[in-house]
A and B are shown apart, each in its own frame.
Chain A
Amino acid sequence: MKDVEFFTQEQLIIRISRMSADRLRCWIDEGFVRSADDREERFDAADIARLEFLCDLADDFDLTTEGIGIVISLMDQIHTLRNQLLRLGKAVDCQPGEVREAIIEAFAGSAGRSKSAGP
């Protein structure tokens, strides 16, 4: 595994032009970004990308802290779902041909069917 580069709060503020100490403090307190340590001085590249996105939400879309909280929470849920769905798809890909066919058949057939419907 390659080494992961970590950043302190001060380094984040320097690296992200739209970031201020107050803003970072607020977003850390809200849990929008989470340090890998308790001293809150260990952020990584994913956090920088998140913070850039949070800056877009705040500056370009004028979202309030509450609004940002809703968006980022939904975004995390979507990414988790996307990842799981992707992994499920890859798992299906690894199955023998007839199993794959059967799953695709069942999956396509289940679209729009209510969950209480029988077999």
Chain B
Amino acid sequence: MKSGAKHEPALLYVIAWLVLVLLTGVSLWTAFLGLGMYAPVVEFGIAATQAAIIFILFMRLKGPPSLKWLFAGSGFLWLLFLYGLSTTDYATRQGWPS
């Protein structure tokens, strides 16, 4: 393409991969700790961290064109609307689950 994107050294990708595998292990380990209601917060928090690493490094959000951030961010903005409005709906329903 000659996108102008300066590629990161391969070692950085390997380190990122090791961190991702390690985080998967941590997520698996915490699942057996009996964290109760906090378990999904920890597990999905780890998943979000992994997703951020993949988006920034493996999907090259870091680097030109910077307009990528706007396009990638728009998906999450709409997802925020979806989750926000839908949660409001379910949280204010009477008798749910019926």
The answer to whether A and B interact is: no
Q: Please report B residues at the A interface, Cβ cutoff 8 Å.
A: none
